[in-house]
Structure 1
Amino acid sequence: MNQLKKQLVCVLMVLGFCLPTIAQSGPPQPPMGKRWVMNPDFSDEFNGTSLDAQKWFDHHPNWKGREPGIFLPSQVSVKDGYMQIKGEKLEKDTIVKAYGRNLKFNIAGGAVVSKKSTFLGYYECRVKAAATTMSTTFWFSTNGTAKGPNDCDKYGQEWDIQECIGRTGDFSGNHFANGMNSNGHFWYTDCDKKKHDLRAPAVKFHNSELPSKDFHVYGGWWRDENSASFYYDEREPKHMKFYDKVVGKPFSEPMYMRLVSETYPFPWIELPTDEELADDTKNTVYYDWVRGYKLVDVLDSSLNQNYEMGVKLYHETVIFPETEMEISEKQKIKIPFSFKANQKRTIYLKISQTTDKLKEKWDKKIAEKQFDVSPGYGNMEIEFKLDKELSRNEQYKVEAFIRDINKTNKPKDAIEASTLFLKIN
């Protein structure tokens, strides 16, 4: 039913027919010996009827909004399979006293903020921007500041995976109306209380199509305290090195996830018009889902992964990095591969001799191993210690099956299989 509703809403949003964007989702290949698992505290399919109050604030707990746009819980909703943030014109100006001054607001926006903070990991969302100049964003930042290297200074972090607007216009920030825009801000306050925005070189993916025309997948891998990588649909990733001239590891503190629609000041970006804010086909951001992942040891089976098993994220498979591998060690062989699993599975590996010089059975089995894996995207290698050395004069292959733990190792019971040929040098 939710999928049907999503298709219907897609039609209504563009007053016509909407073809879905085929976009990659799921994390990039993990490091050797590691497995990506979903982090439920930063994941939501938004298939209910209200925001999950255990995970999210329906407002920004530390920020009223950028004038003249105020964050209001009334603008945040979950329905039809989406988390929606609606931009609207207020009936009258609203004055809010905050940060030691009076703030004037006349446009309503919204913010959804995680209740927990996170450190490192991969994060992605699938979203369709509002067709206005209000922002559609997916970002992380710290609450408060960390002590700087001189004791009298301090710093904060902001990591913007995606920041865009949904239409073009005659203003300097017009480039935010296409593609993916990513930044890494090191917010530094020196000992003289002067504030500095020490940002990394921006990462940009260009797309001539407006982000309000269709859904796109925006992803970011916070690799370590010094670097991040960014992912846009099916494109190759781009990379960022954070500013590290003040502290050697600038992104050292946990951050909170933010899904925000706000106003931007002219001449950077002009304010939305009253007409587009009154148009329900233009004024709403649609977040289809948001997902967070963390790295664990590849065979760690101690985690509660009920949330991940419910999402059924992957096309389940076992994958060799290449079709042929050259080896010099003839009796102790390490076979690298990766796997994707939606639930607990068994992986079976078999080394066979494929020549028939001695008139023995074709595909004579040399060695085999099997083991269970838990849900996620893993990258690992298995070592075979053989009784006899492999010969340069023979041909060998490795077959890998991923299967249900209750099935057999016969090819007919495999969910999917892959083959690797060995070249002996």
Structure 2
Amino acid sequence: MKTKYLFTLLVYLTFLGVTAQSPIQQNPGAWEAVPEITDEFNNPLNTNKWKFGHPFWKGRTPCLFGQGRNAYTRDGELWMETSVQNRNGQGDYLRCGAIYSASKAMKQGMYIEAQYKASGLRIGSGFWLVNNDLDANRRADEIDIQEAFGGIASRNQHNTNVHNPQPNFTNDQPQPQSFTLPNGKTVSTDFVTYGLHWVGRSRIHFYLDGNLVRDLVTNSTLEPMHALLNTETYSWMTPFPSIQQVEGAIDNRYQKVARFKYIRTWKPKSGGGNPPGGSGWVEIGGGASNVSVDNAGKAWVVAAGGQMYARNGNSWSFIRGNVQDAGAGLGVSITETNSQISSKNNNSINNNFSRLGGTALKVDVDNQGRTWVVNAGNQIYRRDGGNWTRIPGNAVDIGCSGTSGSIYRVDSSGRIFFYNNNSWSQTSGGGATRVDVDRQGRAWVVTNNNTLYRYNSSNNTWTNMRQNVNDVGCGTDGSVWITDVNTKIYRMANAAKSVKITSDTSAFSLSAVHERYGNIDLNIKSQNGGDLKVDVYSVLGSGQKVYSKSFNTPSTNLTVRLIEGTLASGMYIAKVVLNGETKTIKFVL
């Protein structure tokens, strides 16, 4: 925070925060607090835990860092108040609040967050980490979790950055990126939660209101680090606050004070394994109410006015108007605003649709390219060849997996059913309005309170994935897309592409397949059996080994099943050694 912030407003990487998605809330039992950098600020400031100012910097003209006059607790909060030091308005005439942790307690693997409202003056209100040691290249490190600017036009930004400059900030290599706050919030009128998960030595995740917004591989990071909360002026942020603004009326006090509700830090419990990560949602840009995803991973969306678009690289291509709903898979089918049904047997970006006959409201496409529809009478039909086949049951929405063949429906009472051997089996849960099915055969539903859930069929339970959702679409490539209640479009950040085999010889081959209950089957085919060893490593964090098994097998076709729930959701690498030959493959649970 000692240099001018370089704004990078990336429209296509804006996020809507959902507090249920933070690593701590995903798996609270795997974490424990770090008391050295955790404080609810309910008591007078603990000066054994916190020191005033900065460990090796006095602040920036005209607002140097002050002491207890400028950083103190009040009403269960930490207040950073700007004050006048020199009434002639010259030189360093202001004092800003700043505290830093007495110990360098922030280390790899930890998660830290702070909730605060920035000052409304033309100053920055920051939450950051710093290390004043120098590495082999004489660089010191700084991680800016948030630089909030409450007194300028871009007061709705979450500004992240990493610096690792040489002394005196020469030859800096900053890595800035900015995100828009959700739901119309601004940094100086709303309390916002900013977080950081130090995943690995050079990998960090930034969180906004509990939702992952940035996965960054840094130039370098040194540990451990101090945690800092502060306010400061910037040379580019002129005019600086006037004495009159700083000494405004008492009812203006909140305008000139940055208010921190808390700072909290956690570390993984011993033996608790690596915490889950990467479950954020990337805003894609554009606006729509409905979304579906084809077998190539392209999203097809329908806007509120009936305009249909397909994702074409990094932009949207207009397809046609007068569309009510779309279902995509091996082909694309639509219901028109007059309820007519049309389809095409490919996912090319064009408007070459043909009428199928009949009318319907909702539509999807299964793994055989067959169109399934729900009509105005809540009846279900499937297109078989040139005819419609009536399927028992009633529905308000239908969801088909383009890979596993799984079909789910939601009925008019919000109940959820799985299609099995030409009959329907009810799952747990209820209150659903929308449904789709991912490549593992898991149902994703949106409920009547706009909450997104994912079904765990192995134990008949549901996982809360996100709030404020309108529709969901799942692709055969593993991608999951949603539209929210504000018509914004998002893709799940950790959704996987198809698995990739890294090597193959005549001795043996290795593949990874998602079976219907969300587990991973490692399929090993060889000319001969023999001594087999399977090791699985987490990609995130320190690369911890999470599974290991050795055995001798006479089989030339062997399947090793990795059970979802035994391993946390995330990305993994499997290393398979058969008779001394090694192969690896990457997969996602």
Give yes or no for TM over 0.5. Answer: yes
Q: Distance in 1 between matches of 2:25 and 2:202?
A: 18
Instruction: Answer whether contact 2:22 2:212 (CA < 8 A) is retained.
Output: no
2:194 matched to 1:218? yes
2:130 matched to 1:141? yes
Q: Distance in 2 between matches of 1:255 and 1:130?
A: 25
1:273 paired residue number: 242
Q: Distance in 2 between matches of 1:26 and 1:39?
A: 21
Q: How does 1:33-112 map to 2 (within 5 A)?
A: 35-48=30-43, 50-73=44-67, 74-92=69-87, 104-112=91-99
Instruction: Answer whether contact 1:33 1:297 (CA < 8 A) is retained.
Output: no
Q: Distance in 1 between matches of 2:221 and 2:196?
A: 14
Q: Distance in 2 between matches of 1:45 and 1:182?
A: 24
Instruction: Answer whether contact 2:54 2:100 (CA < 8 A) is retained.
Output: yes
2:160 paired residue number: 182
Larger RCO of the pair (alpha carbons < 8 Å, separation 6+): 1
Q: Distance in 1 between matches of 2:130 and 2:31?
A: 22
Give 1:242's match in structure 2, choosing from 218, 229, 242: 218
Instruction: Answer whether contact 1:27 1:36 (CA < 8 A) is retained.
Output: no
Q: Distance in 1 between matches of 2:272 and 2:29?
A: 8
Structure 2 CA distance for partners of 1:77 and 1:34, relative to 1, 3 Å: closer
Structure 2 CA distance for partners of 1:210 and 1:275, relative to 1, 3 Å: farther
1:229 paired residue number: 205
Q: How does 1:324-403 map to 2 (within 5 A)?
A: 324-325=457-458
Shift of 1:257: 0.5
Contiguous gaps of at least 5 residues in structure 1: 1-21, 96-103, 149-153, 169-173, 244-249, 301-319, 327-334, 339-380, 383-425
Q: Distance in 1 between matches of 2:63 and 2:144?
A: 20
Q: Distance in 2 between matches of 1:34 and 1:147?
A: 38
Shift of 1:107: 0.8
Shift of 1:278: 1.6
2:335 matched to 1:202? no
Structure 2 CA distance for partners of 1:81 and 1:33, relative to 1, 3 Å: closer
1:163 paired residue number: 147
Q: Distance in 1 between matches of 2:115 and 2:222?
A: 27
Shift of 1:252: 3.1
Instruction: Answer whether contact 1:128 1:285 (CA < 8 A) is retained.
Output: yes
Structure 2 CA distance for partners of 1:45 and 1:67, relative to 1, 3 Å: same
Deviation per residue, 1:239-279 (Å, 9 max, x gap): 22212xxxxxx11331100101011113x453123332123
2:367 paired residue number: none
SS of the equivalent of 1:155 reads coil
1:308 paired residue number: none
Aligned identity (percent) is 23
Q: Distance in 1 between matches of 2:28 and 2:247?
A: 52
Structure 2 CA distance for partners of 1:61 and 1:26, relative to 1, 3 Å: farther
Shift of 1:322: 4.1
1:259 paired residue number: 229
Bigger Rg over Cα: 2
Deviation per residue, 1:117-172 (Å, 9 max, x gap): 12121110110111111111100011232222xxxxx111100001011122xxxx
For 2:114, give the aligned amino acid.
Answer: C
TM-score (ref. length: structure 1): 0.55
Give 1:289's match in structure 2, choosing from 239, 242, 262: 262
| Aligned residue pairs, count | 263
Q: Distance in 1 between matches of 2:46 and 2:18?
A: 26
Q: Distance in 2 between matches of 1:92 and 1:234?
A: 42
Across the aligned residues of Structure 1 and Structure 2, the Cα RMSD in angstroms comes to 3.6
SS of the equivalent of 1:282 reads helix
Contiguous gaps of at least 5 residues in structure 2: 1-16, 274-452, 465-545, 548-589
